[in-house]
Amino acid sequence: MPAGVHATPSWRTRPAPFYLGMGILALWSCLSIRVGHAADAPALNPSSVLLKVQAAARQLDYAGVLTYQQGASMQSARLTHVVDGTGERERLEILDGMPREYLRQNDSVQCLIPEKKTVIIEPSRADRFPGLLLGDAKKLDDHYDLRQHRGSNRIAGHMCTVYDIVPKDAYRYGYKLCIEPGTNLLLKTQTLNRRGEVVDQVAFSMLKLRDQVHVDQLASPWNTQGWKVVTSSTEPVDVAKLGWRVSAPPGFELLTQVSRPLKSGKSVKQLVYSDGLAAVSVFIETAAGRDEQAPHKGLAHNGAMNIFGSRIGDYWVTAIGEMPGQALRELVEHTEYVPLAAKQ
């Protein structure tokens, strides 16, 4: 990723792009209770289930410990989510490594960095676990099938129904979801590659609901008075008018395109694409002075998160997101810079 541009931790599976780790959970198969295979189950519309999951993530009171595994890295966090007269309030406390907290009020998030006495203000994202969706969920039906397993499962002491989200092409990953039927709350999600292998996962290892959740759990122990406050500085930009032609995979639509300042004084253009479930960012920056510094030339990955960088003319183009590596490579290699287009 370009220097000076930081991806928000993805506490989803993915994730995305803010949260988690996995170590204290047993294997999915060990937790299984009368779970049947979905091979013979009829395909359902993913949107019919995922819209209910998204509503539960936004409307329910819940608190618990999340665990997340991405590649070889593991992390855990304590999450509290409350809905009251002020809207949604949420506190996410990272439990491993350096202390970090994320305090959300509706669509605004404060990231607390105690050792630097800094608060970073950033926009919220709807796909934070146990949320999943970005954009129009109904369009997911064109690119994924959903199949329900027979029987049930048990996660963090709560019974749940297991679903497979199966991609219809090679441009996306598959997912396995465990959803509590009474509340439609997502308890666990796994991201699967084309071979059916788990490449990352996030789950509740402890969970309380409704009247078991107390508002005082939202209070941070950190007194941020006098801390430095940093607000992400971005400006809207139209990269097509600058001569760029980015060909996103089928079903991926442009959500945002902005220009971000770098520490060097230069700027990087960032475009975010999503199919409603997966997201990928494309960064464009000038290559001057970056040849020896470009850390992501070629393909690299960690769990479901892949990154591919390549030089196009006088620019570095870097794509990062929850998309299979070959699909991410195609996205970058099919990107064109046509300077004449910017002058027309």
Question: Can you give the residue ranges of every domain in the chain?
Answer: 28-218, 232-343
Return the structure tokens found at 314: 């006088």
Q: pTM of this prediction?
A: 0.85
Least confident residue range of 102-106, 143-147, 270-274, 300-304? 300-304
28-218 and 232-343: identical CATH topology:
no
φ and ψ of 125, to 5 deg? -125, 140
* Highest averaged pLDDT of the listed ranges 10-19, 26-35, 178-187: 178-187
What fold is seen in the domain 28-218?
outer membrane lipoprotein receptor (LolB), chain A (2.50.20)
Residues in the chain, overall count: 344
Q: Given a cut of 50, is residue 13 above it in pLDDT? A: no
Higher-confidence position of 311 and 296: 311
- In this prediction, residues 200-217 reach a mean pLDDT of 96
- 9: pLDDT confidence band, cut at 50, 70 and 90? very low
Work out the average pLDDT over 319-342: 89
321 sits in which H/E element: strand 315-321
Level-2 CATH architecture, domain 232-343: 2-Layer Sandwich (3.30)
Rg (CA), the chain: 20
How would DSSP label each residue in 212-276? G--GGGG--S---TT-EEEE---EE--GGGGTEE--PPTT-EEEEEEEEE-TTS-EEEEEEEESS
